[in-house]
Amino acid sequence: MVDPKFSRYYLEPFKIAGNVYYIGDKKVCSHLIDTGDGLIVFDSGFQHTVHLMVQAIWELGFNPKDIKYLIHSHEHFDHIGAANDFKDLYGCKLAISKTGAEIFRKRPELVYMDSNPYPYASIFTPDIELEDGQVITLGNVSIRCINTPGHSPGVMSFFFDTIDNGTTYHVGYFGGAGYNTLYKKALENDNLPLSCRQQFLDSLQKVRNEPVDIVLGNHPLQNDTLEKRKRMQNEPGTNPFIDSSEWVNFVDTLTEKFNEFLAAGN
């Protein structure tokens, strides 16, 4: 039985802009895109919070059975945990980067499933293994998938357009902004090379110049999801998620902080 304390992480779902919605919780982000010909969801979160995601989808007026693609940003347990539940219940196709799929097959310990507080979570078998530069199209949405390894070997970032009140905005989702996995000791324990740290920096530069107007987060703290939502509620008519300067600031700030992390000898 799921520990009821996990329900405390519930966050009322909401529209970010256009056809993009937040269906995650207070700990891990998940997003839904209504393509007009079915739904696409980014990340399935923890297995033990699947009930929160399903509730969020219904609350927005959508049917989980209409999910066609469930695309994962990377292969860690807190982002892929409910994938099998969604496929078993609703028949959606599960996608992750080709490298992430290789981790599932050859290095499953790097999913960190033993850190999951719920003992029944499981690694999924991908229906789609995404290549660098691949485009997934459904309905009126085309998502460009870009390899951005570092946080984990299989991280991917995603870019697509949404239309809000007649204006087209470019949406960016950096798939792995944390560097808790890049301590020397962590890399040693995972039997991964120190070059993963340079990969992280290279990945940030790879996507820095994307013309992003709306930044999606991997975890709410990474793009101030909760604070922006409060502003939307308290200041009707404003949308702090729409900010063409945020992406470059996000990349540059993360780069600066990570370089400080390296300089400190971590």
pLDDT, one tens digit per residue, over 38-71 is 999 999 998 888 999 999 999 999 999 999 999 9
Segment (H or E) for 248:
helix 246-263
Dist. CA 127–CA 149, nearest whole Å: 21
pLDDT of 208 above 90:
yes
Q: How many residues does the chain have?
A: 266
The residue behind tokens 């056809």 is 19
What average pLDDT score do residues 80-96 get? 96
Tell me the whole-structure pTM to 2 decimals.
0.95
Dist. CA 175–CA 204, nearest whole Å: 11
pLDDT of 5 above 70:
no
Question: How many Cβ atoms sit within 10 Å of the Cβ of residue 65?
Answer: 12
Dist. CA 165–CA 142, nearest whole Å: 19
Please name every residue paired with 138 in a beta bridge, in sequence order, or none if there are none: 141
pLDDT of 2 above 60:
no
The DSSP symbol for 5 reads G
* Dihedral angle computed from the Cα positions of residues 101, 104, 105 and 109, in that order, rounded to the nearest 10 degrees: 150
pLDDT band at 183 (very low <50, low <70, confident <90, very high): very high
Return all residues near 175 (Cβ < 8 A) that are at least 6 apart.
73, 74, 148, 151, 155, 156, 157, 158, 218
Asked if 42 and 216 count as a contact pair (C-beta separation under 8 A), the reply is: yes
Identity at 69, one-letter amino acid code: Y
pLDDT band at 115 (very low <50, low <70, confident <90, very high): confident
| Per-residue confidence (pLDDT) for residue 119, from 0 to 100 | 73
What average pLDDT score do residues 15-43 get? 97
